[in-house]
Amino acid sequence: METSSSRVNSLPYSTSPRDDGGMEKINDKLYSWASIIAANALQQAKLTAQLSIIDPHVALMPDAHLGMGATVGSVIPTVGAVIPAAVGVDIGCGMIAVRTQFTEDEVRATHRPLSYLRGQIERAVPLSPGRYNRKTWGLAQESIVELEKLAEVEGVQPADFAKNWRLQLGSLGGGNHFIEVAVDQDDAVWTFLHSGSRGVGNRIARRFIKSAQQLAERRGDELPDRDLAFLTTHDVEYAEYLAHLHWAQEFARLNREVMMDRVLDQLGRFMGQDVERLDEVACHHNYSAVEEHFGQEVLVSRKGAIAAHAGARGLIPGSMGTRSYVVTGKGDEMSLCSAPHGAGREYSRTQARKTFTQDDLRERMADIEYHDHAAFVDEIPDAYKDIDVVMADAADLVRVDHVIRQIINVKGR
């Protein structure tokens, strides 16, 4: 099935934008909205699409780039099976944003500099891989109770994966995870953050990716990539994985809630008044959910993609020095009601460190309060796709409600 925006005749893929945008039919099992994509990422998506468990087709989002097994920025519907690597190792990773009553002028008019607020946020939220809370406090305690009840219902023992999972709740992590204070087109101040299920989710994912690989070997499955190994409904591990997946997705959601609570507390202290939550948007972008598409119930795994069902609200961040977007889904069925989750990398972290310098990063971050450290060079905006091109590619998938630019960026090393 095709829409008027599809192009039946595939054009060569490169790292240059297409002129026409819209959807491209690669083959009957693969459709793409990415005008900028590397050849290796496209080839990886083709391998995923040829699996017998795929139905109806894989949808590549505008930010698609090479991942482990499955392409980051891909939407993978399966029948009777699940591919653990199609969710990835940061189960439930996603974003949350809150619009406050403050304006940029009001924030800048306080008697303390933005660097002070950044420092307070960095003290309130543990940053970087391996960092976590020394004790549980505030909203984290309520969230732990919720997660303990869910673990009992799902038959999950999270301590088998990370004994300190309770202390991980409310911590950011590293890589492209961030906390930002940002301003929209109407001068309204937002707080915005991106993180996932931390070490406990990572270990859950890796255990079941390995289990799927072992089962595939025993069954004699012929796979184009061993990271595409899947669990079927006939495998005991299938239900076990989905139970752990559900728990880890909820951990990730609550993790963001706890961090947001702390960020808003620090913003309120900085401004001398409590923060009003005038609007709030939250979404996962590494997860699986049962959905109906083309009249069939399928398990949709979004790896670096957000749900964009008609009316569903979502968040699409750029990089640490570029704009982000608050959006509403249009319910495009060919995309399996999905949209990009960000800008998507053009340079690997290693390539970025070889190509760009700390001075390059300083130039790109000139108007943004951030921690000036060489560790963040691989997160320079130039290492990512042009977010304007990504959003143009996504024009049939989402409506843009707010465009926000950061004035403070917080990251873990």
Q: Tell me which residues are annotated as active site.
A: 341
The C-alpha torsion from 34 through 38 and 44 to 49, rounded to 10°, is 20
Task: Count Cβ atoms below 10 Å from residue 85 Cβ, excluding itself.
Answer: 26
Supply 133's token pair: 């809370």
The verdict on whether omega for the bond into residue 340 sits within 30 degrees of 0, i.e. cis, is no
Nearest residue to 403 via CA among 283, 277, 318, 310:
318
Cα–Cα distance for residue pair 356/383, rounded to 1 Å: 9
